[in-house]
Structure 1
C-alpha cells in the first residue's frame, strides 16, 4: 500500500483555497489516488457543529481565547474521525485550512503561537501536513474577490477590517519563512488552471 499524504491549503480571504482544493483532488484522483477533500473548521459531524458557532454571528461573539479553543476542539474531532483514518488507509487528504490558519488568524489577535501549537499537540496529537501550500494573494486583491461573493456567505472573519487581514497575511508570511520545507508559496493571482498546475508541480517530490 502506498503511503497516505496530508496536504493543506492556506491563505487569506479570496485566495481560492476551496476551488484549488477541489481541483487538486480531481487531478490526483485522475492519477489513480484515493482522495479525501475536506475543510476546516469542519469536516466531521462534531466539527461542522462547532463551525456554525465560530463562523456565524457578530464579530465580538467570541474572544480570541475562546475562538482558539473552539478551533482546536473542532480540529481534534476532524483529525480523529476522518483525517488520520484516511491517511492510515493510504489515501491523500487535502484540507482547506488547518492549524496554520489558527496560528495566523488568532495569532493576529494576540494569541501566542506556542499556546496554539500546544493545544494542537494535545487535541490533534500534533499531526502536521506533509505539504502546505500558501496561496499568495495581496490582501486587497483577496478582499476584492471576496466582495464578489454572495454577501450572505460572509462570515465573522471576512468582514473584519483591512488592518486585521494585513496582520493575518504577515503571520502567514512568518510561518512560510520559518518552515520552508513544509510550506510552499504559490502565486494565487494567476488563472485557476495555472494555479492548479503549479500545485501539482510542487507535489512532484511526494508522488510515487
Structure 2
C-alpha cells in the first residue's frame, strides 16, 4: 500500500501536496531540494521556527510578507534589528506576530554570523547529514525526529540558536535536502540528487508525520 495520490498530470504525490496549488508547487519545486547557501538556509531555519504549532500552508502563504518584513532574510541585516524593528514586526499582520519567534529570528541571525568563524551555517548544518535516509511508502513510516535532528538541535542551541528543537530541525533537514522523506512511490523521490533511488524494504518506521505540519 502507498499513500500517494495521482494527480491530473499523472504525477504521484502525498495527499498533503496533492490538492492545494501552492503546496503542490512547493512540493514539486522546492521541498527536499538541497539548500547550500547561508541566505537560503537561514530563511528555511527561520520559517520552520515560525511554523512551530501552525500549518506549513499558513507559513507558505505568508512567505512573501515574511521576506519583506525580514529584509529577505539577510542575516547581516536581521542581526542588526532593534526595538523599533521588533515593534514593526509585531504590528505586521502579514506575518506571524509572535514575540518569542521574532526575537528568536533576530538572535538566530546573530548566531549565524558568529558561526562564520567556524565554517558557517551551511557546513555546520550539513555536517549532521545522516549516512542513510528513510524510504517510506506510507505517511505512517515517515519519522518526525531522528538521532541526527536531536544532535543538530543540541549543537545549534549550544551555539546560541533558539526555536531549533529536534522536530523543527528534522523538518529543516527534510526541506533542505539533508534527508529524503518523499514517499517511495512519489514522482519526487530521489529528485534532489543527494540520495540514490530507494531500496525496497529500507523504510524507517515511525509513528507519524511526513508533511510540513
TM-score bracket for this pair, using the shorter chain length: under 0.3
Over alpha carbons, which structure has the higher Rg?
2
**Greater relative contact order structure (CA < 8 Å, 6+ sep):** 1
More strand by share: 1
TM-score, length basis structure 1: 0.27
TM-score, length basis structure 2: 0.26
More helix by share: 1
